Amino acid sequence: MSAVTLGHDEAATPHALEKEHLGPAPKRIVTGYGFWIFILSDMVMFSCFFAAFAVLSGQTAGGPHGAELFNLKNVAIETGCLLLSSFVCGMASIAAEERNAFWFQISMAVTCALGLAFLFIEFREFADLVARGAGPSRSAFLSAFFTLVGCHGLHVSAGILWLLTMMAQVFAKGFRADIQRRFLCFALFWHALDIIWVAVFSVVYLLGSAA
């Protein structure tokens, strides 16, 4: 990137010299890097919610503990949905790079369906908890639980809106360079959500029902 000290044997290393004068990086790399920084800051935000949950997980105020509330079979199905959707999203990335609109739209539709299935199961779980009197106002533990898991759910909802936008844009405008950059960012976002879900099911559900 920067012009570092040019050695005395410039003529001996023409390739190294050439690399120092490449100029600014291509726009795809700059955009991807910027969005990567955003994802990392999003993860820092999630780490605050995780810290709050970890601190408050024992503060049930006489209310139900995680072990009485969580249905691990549901969580396993949710995890499977997100894992598969992440894989299919990878297939969409390959289709986008190969400029194959047919497989791109199919992969994106499958990704969307799996994401919606995840959201549906999560929403049903939340509704069930509230109906059993274990809503976010019941105890500090449940407040932290709904904040953390709900925040991830909101991210998935936003991701699905973005996904539908990408499908429409590719359909209307084709694989233009700017559309490709947007899709690169979308794929990063979708895979990052999966990473956060790994932390959620491990820390909240598995540790919560083990303890």
Partner 1 sequence: MSDAHLHDQTEVAPGDENTSIRLRVIGYLVGLGLAILLTAVSFFVAGTDLVWQPSIPVAIIVLAIAQMGVHLVFFLHITTGADNTNNVLALAFGLLIVILVIGGSLWIMANLNHNMMPMDQIMQMQR
Binding site for partner 1 (CB under 8 A): 15, 18-19, 22, 25, 28-29, 31-33, 35-37, 40-41, 43-44, 47-48, 50-52, 54-55, 72, 76, 79-80, 83-84, 86-87, 90-91, 93-94, 98, 184, 187-188, 191-192, 194-195, 198-199, 201-203, 206-207, 209-211
Smallest gap, in angstroms, from Cβ of residue 100 to partner 1? 10
C-alpha–C-alpha distance, residues 146 and 148, integer Å: 6
Smallest gap, in angstroms, from Cβ of residue 150 to partner 1? 19
Smallest gap, in angstroms, from Cβ of residue 129 to partner 1? 20
Read off the DSSP letter of residue 11: T
Residue type, position 101, single letter: A
Q: Which is nearer to partner 1, 60 or 130 (CB)?
A: 60
Surface-to-core class of residue 181, CB atoms within 10 Å of its CB (0-12 exposed, 13-18 middle, 19+ buried) = middle
Q: Which is nearer to partner 1, 91 or 130 (CB)?
A: 91
Q: Which is nearer to partner 1, 142 or 187 (CB)?
A: 187
Q: Which is nearer to partner 1, 127 or 211 (CB)?
A: 211
Q: Which is nearer to partner 1, 61 or 172 (CB)?
A: 61
DSSP 24-76: SPPHHHHHHHHHHHHHHHHHHHHHHHHHHHHHHTT--TTS--HHHH--HHHHH
Copy the structure tokens of residue 187. Answer: 């794929």
Smallest gap, in angstroms, from Cβ of residue 23 to partner 1? 10
Smallest gap, in angstroms, from Cβ of residue 171 to partner 1? 22
The region, left, alpha or beta by phi > 0 then psi within -120 to 50, assigned to residue 61 is: left
Closest CA to 89 of 205, 192, 7: 192
